[in-house]
Amino acid sequence: MTNFPNLIDGEWTMGTQSVPNVNPSDTNDVIGQAASATTEEVEQAIDAAAAAQVGWSKSTPQQRFDILDAIGTEILARKEELGDLLAREEGKTLPEGIGEVARAGQIFKFFAGEALRIPGERLESVRPGVEVDIRREALGVIGIITPWNFPIAIPAWKSAPALCYGNAVVMKAAEAVPGSAWALADIIHRSGLPKGVFNLVNGKGSKIGPVMIDHPKVAGISFTGSVQTGQQVAQGCAKNLKKVQLEMGGKNPMVVLDDADLDIAVGACVNGAFFSTGQRCTASSRLIVTEGIYDAFVAAMSKTVSALTVGDARKAGTQIGPVIDQRQLEKDLEYVQIAQQEGATLVCGGEKIEGSGHFMSPALFVDTANHMRINQEEVFGPVATIIKAKDYEEALKLANDTEFGLSAGICTTSLKYATDFKANAKAGMVMVNLPTAGVDYHVPFGGTKGSSYGSREQGRYAAEFYSTVKTSYMQA
């Protein structure tokens, strides 16, 4: 059994409270005990971060490069081992877990490079003899709150840019996945980063979030999680005039047109809807299919989906792992019932699989209308619906008829429709002949409408949130 302590001012601490880290594939497998920070511990971490940030903000691009690059190198070198831990505590399949760890390593490598390219500008003043320069400076202490579904990639894509631009970090990872956050903190801790610059305070979100939000020494909060919690975070940050960045839900459409390549469409929809057990805010949960391909698509989808192998996340051959916990499983099954009560027809799956983990068979619905709750509310599980559309125009309208706007996909061989969809889909990310989920690490990530709030994450656009702009005037 392993301990997953918190990291406060360069010291590991289990504190006074801890919670078990349980394997969702086998609840008899308790991976370890995770520290659960108290209010005082979070305050200590924030004080330490504020004190350490002053020095870190003065570090050179070379120092930042070396540290971020070393972190990336170690993560990549240990991707199998860390991928196994991730799959064990989160339940995505081992290949997905290893892939996610590799992504985290690549993110650190990317921001190592960005540390060498922190941009500035020099302009002539409108006044004679005066010159103006514009530079990016660190914000200060960043509070980072991460979800359970990407236990290492999301902590990486928030903490790497935070450190790159000279900030200090106080991070709270989701209670269900303390192991990956601890492993990341351990690598960061040994990387040569001055103590106190990166702190980990895992524990209850309802307790730790408000401390971060109300603390005067925290300059900004980057949050990924539910819409409901995101709204509370934004309200608290607005009251305290803190910078805030939110990534929340999705109800991402995948349009399949008559002219689509059927194999590509089915591949993209199965991956987008069900991989990672559908537990991605980028999941393709609404499949909007035009009349001419509808019957063939439904037949091919139901054949493929019902043949998916559901099982232990770390077992070779598993395609769909467990749901994260009992509560989420109950929610997923409740949505299966809701859909049926609304008149949707279950084509396959949607059943709890008995065993020692939180398993359910992937559920696919037909005869659904876009206004139904099953098509408007995010389930965050292995549940997808098919909506029939007359033609491209109707499909686009349905795709956009949602309060979310994270990712939108289309499968088509038509340049005309692909081009039109890229222009008119109301989403932050558009995918053509690709799943709505599964993004690159070097380009911006984020959505429109109810999915995101604040500036984009990832790529060089991350600078917008993790730095502040200073304009200096000088008369020579």
Q: State the residues that interact with ligand UN1 by CB under 6 A.
A: 147, 149-150, 224, 247, 280-282, 437-439
Residue 271 beta carbon to ligand UN1: minimum distance, rounded to whole angstroms:
10
Beta 345-348 vs 11-13: how paired, if at all? unpaired
Residue 275 beta carbon to ligand UN1: minimum distance, rounded to whole angstroms:
9
For 448, residues 6+ apart whose C-beta sits below 8 A from its C-beta are 405, 406, 426, 427, 428
Three-state SS sequence of 53-84: HHHHCCCCHHHHHHHHHHHHHHHHHCHHHHHH
Best CA proximity match to 206, nearest among 171, 233, 234: 233
- Closer Cβ to ligand UN1, 79 or 280, answer by number: 280
| R_g of the chain computed on alpha carbons | 23
- Closer Cβ to ligand UN1, 42 or 313, answer by number: 313
Q: Which helix H or strand E contains 267, and what residues bound it?
A: helix 262-274
Residue-by-residue DSSP string for 174-223:
-TT-HHHHHHHHHHHHTTTPPTTSEEE--S-HHHHHHHHHH-TTEEEEEE
Residue 217 beta carbon to ligand UN1: minimum distance, rounded to whole angstroms:
27
Q: Using CA atoms, how far apart are residues 85 and 97, in angstroms rounded to an integer?
A: 8
- Closer Cβ to ligand UN1, 103 or 243, answer by number: 103
Q: Using CA atoms, how far apart are residues 151 and 59, in angstroms rounded to an integer?
A: 28
- Closer Cβ to ligand UN1, 59 or 282, answer by number: 282
Residue 74 beta carbon to ligand UN1: minimum distance, rounded to whole angstroms:
22
- Closer Cβ to ligand UN1, 25 or 149, answer by number: 149
Q: Using CA atoms, how far apart are residues 436 and 452, in angstroms rounded to an integer?
A: 16
DSSP 450: T
Residue 268, token pair as written in the block: 């993209």
Residue 464 beta carbon to ligand UN1: minimum distance, rounded to whole angstroms:
17
Helices (H) and strands (E) in the chain, counts: 15, 25
Q: Which residues are catalytic?
A: 247, 281
Residue 51 beta carbon to ligand UN1: minimum distance, rounded to whole angstroms:
31
Dihedral pair phi/psi, residue 159, rounded to 5°: -75, -30
Residue 440 beta carbon to ligand UN1: minimum distance, rounded to whole angstroms:
9
Classify 352 as helix, strand or coil. Answer: strand
Q: Secondary structure of the chain: what % helix, strand, coil (to 5)? A: 40, 25, 35
- Closer Cβ to ligand UN1, 150 or 392, answer by number: 150
Residue 85 — left, alpha, or beta (φ > 0 → left; ψ -120 to 50 → alpha)? alpha
Q: Using CA atoms, how far apart are residues 141 and 145, in angstroms rounded to an integer?
A: 13
Residue 331 beta carbon to ligand UN1: minimum distance, rounded to whole angstroms:
16
- Closer Cβ to ligand UN1, 150 or 297, answer by number: 150
- Closer Cβ to ligand UN1, 196 or 272, answer by number: 272
Q: Using CA atoms, how far apart are residues 206 and 226, in angstroms rounded to an integer?
A: 13
For 299, residues 6+ apart whose C-beta sits below 8 A from its C-beta are none
Best CA proximity match to 260, nearest among 457, 32, 418: 418
Residue 444 beta carbon to ligand UN1: minimum distance, rounded to whole angstroms:
12
Dihedral pair phi/psi, residue 417, rounded to 5°: -70, -40
Nearest 5°: CA angle at 167, between 237 and 115?
A: 130
DSSP 257: -
- Closer Cβ to ligand UN1, 18 or 436, answer by number: 436
